[in-house]
């Protein structure tokens, strides 16, 4: 039974690759079949040279902050596809970038858990998922940190005008 199941999984994976080939996160060129890479050979050095953030991130009154990428050019376009066009497959790549960034700060920050920014029902409906929650789960899994929904949305305030 295990051989049959493995054969079915391989066949379905092959058919999915045929119908919807994996593409480079940045330039969207097709990647080789069976490759685990998320970037093409041309984009790997570009991420290191053009998009890798090496500058300190300062947020007033925050204990610390960091950002793995400079969100310009194709990196910004990929982030927009992830957030607003339901390209949920990009979550894995963006989460890996953030996890690597967090790994460099683990000793300094010593986090007990991860949390994420909540989104309202209308935004969730339009996007189809909460991208920050999905990324937090991926990062938490990679860093072996629990993920909790500790933040909440403010109640909607309706302004009434007139007499």
Residue position matching structure tokens 């858990």 = 113
Instruction: Identify whether 157 is part of a domain.
Output: no
Domain assignment of residue 92, yes or no: yes
Asked if the structure places residue 54 within a domain, the reply is yes
Whether residue 45 lies inside any domain: the answer is yes
- For residues 23 and 30, give the distance between their C-alpha atoms in angstroms, rounded to a whole number: 4
Does 22 reside within a domain?
no
The pLDDT value given to residue 8: 76
Measured between alpha carbons, how far is residue 89 from residues 63, 79, 154, 162 in Å? 31, 11, 30, 48
Residue 36: predicted pLDDT: 84
Residue 90 forms part of a structural domain: yes
**Residue at 124 is within a domain:** yes
DSSP 147: B
Instruction: Determine the length of the chain.
Output: 163
- Digit-by-digit pLDDT tens for the chain (163 residues) are 677 777 776 776 666 655 567 889 999 998 887 788 899 999 999 999 999 999 989 999 988 899 999 999 999 999 999 988 888 889 999 999 999 999 988 889 999 999 998 888 888 888 888 999 999 999 999 999 999 988 877 766 666 675 6
- Torsional sign, CA 47, 48, 49, 51: positive
Number of Cβ within 10 Å of residue 138's Cβ equals 19
Q: Quick one: pLDDT at residue 97?
A: 94
Residue 134: domain span = 37-143
Question: Pick from 119, 109, 34, 121: which is nearest to 83 by CA?
Answer: 119
User: What's the structural domain count of the chain?
Assistant: 1
Q: Is residue 44 part of a domain?
A: yes
């Amino acid at each position: 039974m295990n051989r049959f199941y493995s054969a079915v999984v391989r066949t379905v994976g092959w058919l999915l690759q045929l119908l919807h080939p994996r593409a480079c996160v940045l330039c969207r060129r097709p990647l080789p079949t069976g490759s685990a890479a998320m970037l093409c050979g041309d984009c790997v050095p570009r991420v290191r040279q053009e998009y890798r953030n090496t500058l300190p991130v300062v947020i007033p009154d925050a204990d610390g902050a960091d950002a793995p990428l400079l969100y310009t050019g194709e990196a910004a376009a990929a982030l927009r596809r992830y957030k607003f066009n339901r390209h949920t497959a990009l979550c894995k790549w963006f989460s890996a970038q953030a996890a690597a960034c967090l790994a460099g700060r683990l000793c300094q920050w010593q986090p007990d858990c991860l949390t994420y920014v909540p989104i309202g029902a209308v935004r969730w409906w339009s996007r189809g998922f909460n991208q920050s929650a999905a990324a937090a789960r991926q990062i938490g899994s990679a860093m072996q940190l629990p993920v909790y929904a500790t933040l909440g949305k403010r109640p909607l305030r309706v302004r009434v005008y007139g007499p």
